[in-house]
Amino acid sequence: MTEALSGEDVAKQIGERFPNAVTDFDETAVFIRGEDVLDVARFLKEAPGLEFDYLTSITAVDYSEHFEVVYHLTSIKNNHSIVLKVRCYDRDNPRLPSVVSLWQGADFQEREVYDLMGIAFDGHPNLKRIFLWHGFAGHPLRKDFQGNV
C-alpha cells in the first residue's frame, strides 16, 4: 500500500530546511509559498527518507479568490506519497517556478495548466498552449471563463 505521508510530518521536515516556506498543512497536503516551489521540490526529491522521484500529477484548481496548484508526488523507491499545494493570489498574472528541471514529466502538465488555467511557469523550456490553438482567448478551466461551454 502506498503510504500517504502526513502533511504535518513533511511540513516539519521542510520547515527545518526552509523556515519560511511552509504556509499551512493538513492531513495529506503541505501548502508552501510560490517562490519556494523549486527549492522545496528539489529538497523533497533528494532528501534521504523522502526521495520523491516520481511526479504523479500537476493540476490546478480555481477557488476564485486564489488559484491552487496541486502537485501529487510519489516515491517509487519508498512507496509513499505527499500532496504539495501552492496558492497564487495574483489573478491577472499568476506565475510559479517550473519544476521541469527536476522532473521532465512536468513538461506537458505545466503546459496544460498554462493552457487551461492560465498559470505561467517560469523556466519552462517550451511554455505554450498544448490543447487549444495559439489565438484562443482566455483559459477555459477558470471559473469566470465566458465561453460556449
Partner 1 sequence: MFKTEPIMINFGPQHPSTHGVFRMRITFDGERIVDLEPIFGYLHRGIEKLGESKTYAQIIPYTDRLDYLASMTNNHAYVLAVEKLAGIEVPERAEYLRVIMAELMRIASHLMTVGFMLNEMGAFFTPLLYMWREREKILDLFEMVCGQRLTYNYMRIGGVSHDIPEEFMPALRRFIDEMPGFIDEYDQLLAENEILLARTKGVGILPAEKAINCSVSGPVLRASGVKWDLRKADPYSVYDRFDFEIPTCQNGDVYDRYRMRILEMRQSVRIIEQAMAQLPGGEFRAKVPATLRPPKGEAYGHVEGPKGELGFYLVSDGSPNPYRFHIRAPALLNLTVLRDLCVGRLLADALVILGSIDICMGEVDR
Site residues for partner 1 per CB under 8 A: 1-2, 53-57, 59, 61-62, 70, 72, 76, 79, 83, 103-109, 112, 116, 129-133, 140-141, 149
Least distance in Å: CB of 84 to partner 1? 13
User: Which is nearer to partner 1, 9 or 132 (by Cβ)?
Assistant: 132
Least distance in Å: CB of 149 to partner 1? 6
User: Which is nearer to partner 1, 20 or 76 (by Cβ)?
Assistant: 76
What Å distances lie between residue 102 and 8, 16, 45, 106, CA to CA? 24, 21, 8, 8
Least distance in Å: CB of 12 to partner 1? 22
DSSP symbols for 6-56: -HHHHHHHHHHHSTTTEEEE-SSEEEE-GGGHHHHHHHHHHSTTT---EEE
User: Which is nearer to partner 1, 18 or 54 (by Cβ)?
Assistant: 54
Least distance in Å: CB of 19 to partner 1? 28
Q: How far apart are CA 11 and CA 28, in angstroms?
A: 10
